[in-house]
Amino acid sequence: MIVYSDEQILKGVLRHDSLILQYIYKQYYYKISYFVRKNQGSEDDASDIFQEAIIIIYRKLKENDLILEKSSFAGYLFSVCRFLWLKQLEKRRIERERLNDTLPFQENLYDENLVELVNKNERYGLYQKHFATLSTDCQKLMQLFFEKVPLKEIAKIMGYKSEKYAKTRKFKCKEILVKRIKQDTEFKKILEDDT
């Protein structure tokens, strides 16, 4: 079986390389799953944690903020997963003292930057989740706006009669999105945590 170096793995994550992602999954997922299940989580929780940990590592890489000097990729991944799961346990009001630590982690990785990034990832993930629940029409329309496509062009692509209608429709879509986000209990929890 091919063994990838940490550098290869990080580069692979940065370019969304399927082989590298599969490698990470096969190599480390079961350990994360074991840890989560040992700590009152389910298989679904484990896959969520694994997924979000990779996204966080990707965000770090994008910001040029990840240098594995004192840690290996595995160590970093496990530490992030553990941190994410601790956060979940806190939300579920489960005492962290009872944690069954089966993952090798590094406490020194838990700095302010990581906490901030994890929180940002949590919020962004929530917005993206709700965006995915909008109608295809709404999603497409909003994407075009975000890509700064001229209004006239948007109306043409979407088959709307006027630019004004395209704009009104976009507001409607955004209104639905904002409403759904605000009504989400997860969002309310995030707000509570921030205050």
Partner 1 sequence: MTPDFNYFDQVEDYCQGLLSNEAKLQFEAELKMDAKLRSEVKLRIEINKALTERDVLTLRKKLKSAASQQTDSNSHNDSFDLLTNLTNFNEVTDAHSFEELMEHYDSMPKVHVHQHKIAEKETVHQFYKEQGKPAEGKSDIDEFNFEEFDGIEEAILEKDILNLRHTLSEVAKSMEPRFGVEEIDDFLNNDLSQEQLAEFEEELRNSRELKSDIELHKEIEAALAENDVIDLRHRISRIIKTETSWNVSEQEIEDFIDGELDGDLLEAFNAELKENSDLLAEVKLRRQINETIGEADIRELRAELNTAKELAEESKTRRLIPTISFKLNSLIRTSVAVVVLLVAVGGVFSSGYFSVQNTYDKFFRLPEWSAERSVSTNVTLLQKAQHAFASGKYSEVVKLLDENDELTSDNPVFRFYAGASWQKMGKLKQAIADYSEVIKNGNNLFVEEAEWYRSLCYMRLGKKIEAEQELLAIINKEGYFEEDAKAVLRRLKLVPE
Chain residues that interact with partner 1, rule: CB under 8 A: 1, 13, 16, 18, 21-22, 25-27, 29-31, 33-34, 37, 47, 50-51, 54-55, 58-59, 62, 102, 123-125, 127-128, 131, 142-143, 146, 170-171, 174-175, 177-178, 181-182
Return the number of the residue (44 or 95) whose C-beta is nearest partner 1: 44
Give least dist CB 147 to partner 1, A. Answer: 8
Give least dist CB 5 to partner 1, A. Answer: 17
Give least dist CB 195 to partner 1, A. Answer: 10
Q: Is 125 helix (H, G, I), strand (E, B) or coil?
A: helix
For residues 137-162, b (16+ Cβ closer than 10 Å) or e, as one string? ebeebbebbeeeeebeebbeeeebee
Return the number of the residue (70 or 124) whose C-beta is nearest partner 1: 124
Return the number of the residue (16 or 98) whose C-beta is nearest partner 1: 16
Q: Is 181 helix (H, G, I), strand (E, B) or coil?
A: helix
- At 129, the amino acid letter reads K
Give least dist CB 133 to partner 1, A. Answer: 13
Return the number of the residue (3 or 69) whose C-beta is nearest partner 1: 3
Residues 6 or more apart from 125 whose CB is under 8 A from it? 52, 55
Q: Give the chain's count of helices (H) and strands (E).
A: 9, 0
CB 105 within 8 A of CB 99: no
Give least dist CB 31 to partner 1, A. Answer: 6
Return the number of the residue (34 or 160) whose C-beta is nearest partner 1: 34
CB 32 within 8 A of CB 43: no
CB 76 within 8 A of CB 24: no
